[in-house]
Amino acid sequence: MPDLLITFFSETLKLFALMTPPVAITAFLSASRQRDPGRNLATARKCALAVFTLGIILYFSGERVFAFFGFTLDAFRIGAGALLFLSAVSLMNESPEKPFLTPDQDISIVPLAVPLCMGPASISTVIVMGASAANTVERAVGALSLLTASLGIYLSLRFAETVQRRLGTVGMAVLSKLTGLLLAALAAQVVFTGIHAFFI
């Protein structure tokens, strides 16, 4: 049981970081300043639902994807790690003052859910997690982690203005950089795991 809890918290934090909440918050705020609060709340709900729906489909169909394309899990880990590292570099270079969107856009699905939250790196990681699950319990833990991370995205967007007020421009920039560093570390670990398996 303790191992399952550790796995749950670890996978939840990893998925939440991969969904790059600082970038999603910045994009959400740039389009929500002149909109009705009710519409902003609906946008946050639709985004979180889209993230979870896409994630759960990929999570449970990952093995079929591998079988269809004929590549191994370790090869996919290396590719996912490379994409994750590129995402980390991109996040490190983001500016919180950069305008993303205009107020008249429906941003809940595109670009908030895809590709800001569920980009190439997070999609790859979800597929790897699903394919790596050895039994029903591990699959359930992974699915619950995905649900929790999606809920975290909803709460991040729901309270985006509060987060911005508390952190300020400098705080948002620091949070974005710290997230980028975490993603870079995850990328290194994923690539190392994939390469290590080739030499065993």
Q: Where are the domains of the chain?
A: 2-198
Cis peptide before 22 (omega within 30 of 0): no
Q: Among residues 163, 12, 23, 150, which one has the least CA distance to residue 89?
A: 23
In this predicted model, what pLDDT tens digit does every residue of 97-121 receive, in sequence order? 554 455 566 889 988 898 789 987 7
Whether the pTM exceeds 0.85: the reply is no
Q: What distance in Å separates the CA atoms of residue 123 and residue 98, rounded to the nearest whole number?
A: 25
Least confident window among 14-23, 96-105, 122-131: 96-105
In this predicted model, what pLDDT tens digit does every residue of 37-78 receive, in sequence order? 888 999 999 999 999 999 999 999 977 877 888 888 788 888
Helix then strand then coil, in percent of the chain rounded to 5, is 85, 0, 15
Write the DSSP string, 170-184.
Answer: HHHHHHHHHHHHHHH
CB atoms within 10 A of CB 187: 22
